[in-house]
Amino acid sequence: MTDDRPTWARRIAAERAARDWSQRKAVRALRAHAPSELPAEDSMIRQWKRWESGQMPNEFYQPIIAATFGTVTHAIFPAPSRRDGESEILAATGMETLEIVSRLGKSDVDNATLDALRITADRLSSEYPYMPSEQLLIEGRQWLRRVVELHKKSLTLAQHREVLALSGWLALLVGCVEYDTGNRHAAEATRGAALSLANEADNAEVAGWAHEMRAWFALTTGDYRGVVAAAQAGAEAAPHHGVAVQLAAQEAKAWARLGDRRQVEVALDKGRRMLEGMPHPENLDNHFVVDPSKFDFYSMDCYRLVGEDKIARTLAEEVLRAGTDFDGHERSPMRNAEARVTLGVTAAREGDLEQALAMGERALVGDRKSVPSLIMTSRELAAEMRRRYSSESAAQDYLARLDTLAREKPGFMPR
């Protein structure tokens, strides 16, 4: 029989099962996160049964349920519809790309042109998850050059700061794609340029993301203390922006690899509390936006590393669901790849070599991937393979393929 309950209801049940909780135990955990007194236990159990059957909790209970499972409200419950980013630039400005480029050649730049550039930068950042790396890198560099050229024109002080900030955003995007494709040194130089532009423009958000990139670079090269230092520097630079949530998540991932479970929980809870208090993002596709699904993705990584396999698997399945359209098209192929690695790790630990290999192999295919991150997580699956199935020929074939990928990108071998 098909389960026709809403997605959020199925997830509540799955999260409870992943923790081996009865409904009574779930209600007691819920009570521990409630800001005020709740009804009697038997009444709350009946309420919980209604939630799991598909009756939507009200706005009081939604954040409490989310906190009980270590996430934020809109990671479980539906949020307002997001805007259509593809047609936004034309709708907002009446300009297509050719007209924007022609305007950039004028001696003076008006605010309408800067608005169009801002939306263009947003569009490029929104195409990061799925556009082929080579294409995005070419387009990103072209727009970066165009925006940098504006520094030579007559600008007001406010326009000058805006151009610096736009240059910083585009540099961040280009640096991310450079790193995804294995060009580590170019990525670091571009990241440094973005940070300089942020400091000159006094733009805390761009500065925060430049520090976040440093944390990401450190994580994938095994410099876990460097991750913590970068995360703390970024949080100090941009404490009130969404990037602070992702910095907390990167810090949690580093603590997980250092084996400090307590610090993992502290960092994740810090990020969750910040994200819960922020307005829901308008454009969830933008790479430089931290949305509830992205927080689930980071939590998945941490739970896998600390050995909470049921929770990690539940989150991996949720990441795949959120990152895949109803027709099977993958909106978030890079997140989906790491979710499959997580499913592979949990399968390997449960003795299911066939499923572990299927997930591991599928994670390696696809045109759009972040090679450093994929190598890092896949090596964790490889460690399980070597520990449990070193004599199996199928496991040896997978390990050989992964070693070939890692040799092609030697700068990303974790220390």
pLDDT tens-place string over residues 210-243: 999 999 999 999 999 999 999 999 999 999 999 9
> 215: closest CA among 228, 203, 198?
228
Q: What distance in Å separates the CA atoms of residue 337 and residue 373, rounded to the nearest whole number?
A: 10
Tokens of 61: 């209970």
- Quote the pLDDT of residue 129: 87
Residue 331 Cα distances to 277, 291, 326, angstroms: 26, 14, 11
CA angle, residues 73, 76, 82, in degrees to nearest 5: 80
Per-residue pLDDT tens over the stretch 288-330: 999 888 899 999 999 999 999 999 999 999 999 998 988 788 8
What is the pLDDT at residue 293?
85
Band of the pLDDT at 345, cuts 50, 70, 90?
very high
Q: What percent of the chain has pLDDT over 90?
A: 65
pLDDT at 152: 77
**Of all residues in the chain, what percent carry a pLDDT higher than 70?**
91
Distances (CA, A) of 74 to 250, 272, 280: 20, 11, 8
The rounded distance, in Å, linking the Cα atoms of 87 and 100 is 15
Give the angle subtended at the CA of 257 by the CAs of 385 and 216, to the nearest 5°: 105
DSSP classification of residue 154:
B
Beta-carbon contacts of 68 under 8 Å, excluding residues fewer than 6 positions away, are 26, 29, 30, 32, 33
Q: Decide if 197 contacts 164 (C-beta within 8 A).
A: yes
Residue 283 CA to residue 119 CA, distance in Å, equals: 11
Report the C-alpha gap between 358 and 352 in whole angstroms.
10
Q: How confident is the model at residue 88 (pLDDT cuts 50, 70, 90)?
A: very low
Residue 370 · residue 217 · CB < 8 Å: no
Question: pLDDT confidence of 367, banded at 50, 70, 90?
Answer: confident
Under 8 Å between Cβ of 233 and 211:
yes
Across 357-361, 369-373, 407-411, the highest mean pLDDT is recorded for 357-361
- 62 has a pLDDT exceeding 70: yes
Name the β-bridge partners of 108: 154
Q: What is the pLDDT of residue 370?
A: 87
CA pair distance 369, 362, nearest whole angstrom: 12
Is the pLDDT assigned to residue 67 strictly greater than 90? yes
Integer CA distances (angstroms), 25 to 48, 55, 80, 276, 384, in order: 11, 20, 31, 24, 32
368/132 Cα distance (integer angstroms): 6
Torsional class of 84: left (φ above 0), alpha (ψ -120 to 50), beta (otherwise)? beta
Q: What's the predicted TM-score (pTM) here?
A: 0.84
Residue 367's nearest CA partner among 150, 134, 52, 28 is 134
pLDDT the model gives residue 393: 92
CB 177 within 8 A of CB 370: no
| 372, 182 contact by CB (below 8 A) | yes
Cβ neighbour number for residue 281 with a 10 Å cutoff = 17
Residue type, 49: K
Residue of 352, 362, 371, 288 whose CA lies nearest to 330: 362
For 347-351, what is the mean pLDDT? 95
Which pLDDT does position 85 carry in this prediction?
41
Check residue 415 and give its pLDDT.
37
Between 205 and 119, residue with greater pLDDT: 205
DSSP string, 336-350: HHHHHHHHHHHHHHT
pLDDT of residue 111: 80
Radius of gyration of the chain (CA): 23
Of residues 243, 298, 294, the one with CA closest to residue 75: 294
CA distance 197 to 325: 37
Assess contact for 376 and 412: CB atoms under 8 A: yes
Q: How far apart are CA 234 and CA 222, in angstroms?
A: 19
Summarised one tens digit per residue, pLDDT across range 384-413 is: 999 999 899 999 998 888 888 777 655 444
Query: What is the rounded CA–CA span in Å between residue 68 and residue 239?
Result: 25
Is the pLDDT score of 99 beyond 70? Answer: no
